[in-house]
Amino acid sequence: MSRVLLDGRLAGGRTAWRVAGQVHHPWDYWLIGSVLALTALGLVMVHSASVDYATRSFGHSGHFLIRHASYLLAALVTALIVVRTRVQWWEAAGRYLLLVGIGLLVLVLVPGIGVHVNGSTRWLRLGVVTVQPSEIMKLGAVVYVAGYLVRKHEALGRFIQGILMIGMVVALIGVLLLQQPDLGSLVVICLTVLTMLFLAGVRFWHFMIVVGAGAGGMVLLTLVSPYRLSRVTSFLDPWADPFDTGFQLVQALIAFGRGEWFGVGLGASVQKLSYLPAAHTDFLMAVIAEELGLVGVLAVIALFGVVMVRAFLIARAAEAAGLLYGARLAHGLGLLLGYQGMINIGVNMGLLPTKGLTLPFVSYGGSSLVVSAAAVALLLVIERESRGRVWGRA
């Protein structure tokens, strides 16, 4: 089998290779196209959902549109930088990224440094922008755990050496996140790490012990916190207190109901007019449902499905090419984006208790956009190197 460069270029200036008579492009256009569609939808919907709030609060209807566009530019620059790196760099940097994430989580808790908003201290102010360390921590945790699973591959069958150490790291992250408090980010990290362990081939009964301990811990954290308990009770019956604890969910459900099949039309949402809190951030999906209807909601879910499927296909290709770390990392990145997207949509639909998580690529929020862009760029790096190994053996 031979590798042939097709004159270096195809129509439009794209590079391609022919292997075994087939043309192979260097990028996953399904993944890129899905992410671009989500970000384009997000840009439009953030503006639509924030017009009223921006006008009342800042006197300019495009306030959040301009800021969101600047965040998208920062995300693009980040992706262009990450896509020029190599997989082994991330494998070597995993420990340091974990330490940076933990350090930022500690820093945000220091009085006078962390920014306190709506009862939570989750942000650091850097000049005119704020950074959410928990978003960086999610990526750092995935990069580190992927490396750990490769380094300790032979020890995964032993509970202490294989799993307990990862559990201790996640527990430390959890303690810091709960001080903010940010249970939503902790849930995303726990689900992602647990699934990475399962896919890496840990023993089933070891896996079930960890799942049981994690579930028990979540129940205990809910029971000992009146605030979290009120979120669960309002989730179970939001109409019992529709003007207080159940207010946000009730307004989101009304938005879904008004949207019906095809929505009330772009820009025609009523719920975004001071009824639905966090309409352009955590509950943007409810505005999408109201303005674009069930069809719009299904389109968003389908796009996230494509992102997850492509991530898992990239992981499978990496493993077949002998790039084990790339496979573990691709699994983690796909799970991270998929779990956060599913949880956000589930919260908006009243299927899960309120978590305070953004919808990746879509919701307003600079830290989330930049980290999500970095995750996608990393998937492209893994795919590129996996194909390079296959072509190198051709």
Spatial distance between the Cα atoms of 119 and 117, rounded to a whole number of angstroms: 6
pLDDT at 389: 62
Task: DSSP letter for 162, please.
Answer: I
Which ranges constitute the DSSP H helices of the chain? 29-58, 63-82, 87-107, 133-151, 159, 165-178, 183-200, 204-223, 226-236, 247-259, 284-320, 324-348, 366-393
Contact 366, 133 (CB under 8 A): no
379 closest CA partner among 170, 40, 146? 146
Question: Among the listed ranges 14-18, 267-271, 276-280, which one has the minimum average pLDDT value?
Answer: 14-18
Query: What strands, in cross-sheet order, belong to the sheet with 3-5?
Result: 3-5, 17-19, 22-24
Q: Count of domains in the chain?
A: 1
CB atoms within 10 A of CB 9: 11
In angstroms, rounded to a whole number, what is the distance separating the alpha carbons of residues 136 and 140? Answer: 6
Distance CA 34, CA 14 (A): 19
Hey, what amino acid is at 267?
A: G
- Percent of the chain clearing pLDDT 90 (strictly above): 64
Give me the domain span that covers residue 107. Answer: 3-393
List 129's β-bridge partners, or say none. 126
**Mean of the per-residue pLDDT values of the chain:** 89
Q: What is the pTM of this model?
A: 0.90
CA atoms of 142 and 79, how far apart (whole Å): 17
pLDDT-based confidence at residue 24 (cuts at 50, 70, 90): low
Is a pLDDT exceeding 70 seen at residue 11? no
Q: Is 310 in contact with 379 (CB distance < 8 Å)?
A: yes
Per-residue pLDDT tens digits for 152-210? 887 777 877 778 889 899 999 999 999 988 889 999 999 999 999 999 988 888 888 88
> Is residue 1 predicted with pLDDT exceeding 50?
no
